[in-house]
Amino acid sequence: MTDQTPLDAAHAAMQADPADDAARLRFYERLAETELFLMLETEAGDDSDQITPELFELDDARFVLVFDRQERLAGFAGGTAPFVSLSGRAIAGMLQGQGIGLAVNPDVAPSSILLPEEAVEWLNGILANQPDETEARIVEVRAPGGLPETLISALDAKLATAMGLALHACLVGVRYSDDTAGHLLGFVGAVPGAETALARAAGEALSFSGIEAGAMDVAFFRANEPMAERLERAGLRFDLPQAQEASTLRPAPGRDPARPPKLT
C-alpha cells in the first residue's frame, strides 16, 4: 500500500528528529486516538468480553500485533485473520501491568515500530493525567494569553472527539478570590456524568502538548449561568460536535466503554 495514514505521518515526523519531544508526543497522541486492529488467536464471540490476542515474542519480550488498517493486518497474516478493532488508548489500557508491548504495523508499513512494555506504561501514565477541577471563586475573566499554539491546536483536535458531551467550551484567563491567576477551560452545558471524560480530554491535550498540568484548570457551567456568558464574551470558544441518535445495536467487543474487553 502506498497511501500514507495519519499514523505513518506522525511516525515519520518523530523519526525525522528523534530529539524533538513535541513530535514524539504527537506520535503517541495519534497512536492513542487511532482505531487499531488487534490480531487475535481466535474469533471474539459476540457475547464475550474476553479476547485472546496473538502474541509475538522477541528476545524474551512479548508484543501484541496492531495495525491501523485491516489491509495491513491481512498483509502481515498472509490472508484473513481474526481481529478486534479498538482505539489505541483502549489497547494500552488492557495491557497495563501485563508486561506486554505493542508491535505496530510490523513489516507492513512505514510506521512499523516495536514499543516495549515501558512505552506502553508511559503512555498509560500520560493518558491518566487530568487537570485540576477548580471550585475557587472567579473574580475576573479575561482573554487567554501566553499559551502556545500547540496547546490551542491540541484542544481543538481533542474536543472535536468529545461528541455530544457538552455544548461548547471556552478557554479564558482568570483571577481567583485568593488573588491567584491562571487559565481555565470552562465547559458549558456538559451532559451529567460527562465531567470526568471532559476533564480527561483536556488533560490529554495538555500532556501531549508538553505543557505542565497546572497551566490550566477545568470547570463546568450550566448554559443559563451568568458565568457562561462571561466566558463566551472573553474567551476562545471551542464548539463540540453534537451526537447523532444512538444505535440500538449491541456494540461489538471493546465498543462499550463501561465493559472493555479483557485479555485471556
Query: What does 106-156 look like in DSSP terms, one character per residue?
Result: TTTSTT-EEE-HHHHHHHHHHHH---EE--SPEEEEE---S--HHHHHHHH
Question: How far apart are the C-alpha atoms of 261 and 140, rounded to whole Å?
Answer: 46
Residue 120 one-letter amino acid: V
Q: Contact, 175 vs 209, CB < 8 A?
A: no
Closest C-alpha to 31, from 98, 91, 94: 91
Q: Is the pTM of this model over 0.75?
A: no
Report whether pLDDT(254) > 70: no
Classify 5 as helix, strand or coil.
Answer: coil
Rg (CA), the chain: 20
Report whether pLDDT(264) > 70: no
pLDDT > 90: percent of the chain: 62
- Residue 249 pLDDT level (bands cut at 50, 70, 90): very low
pLDDT digits (tens, 9 = 90+) for 127-160: 877 666 667 899 999 999 888 888 898 899 889 8
Report whether pLDDT(94) > 60: yes
Report whether pLDDT(257) > 50: no
pLDDT for residue 74: 95
139-153, 188-202, 210-224: least confident range: 210-224
Domains of the chain, by residue range, sit at 6-128, 132-239
- Residue range 132-239 in CATH 3.40.50: no
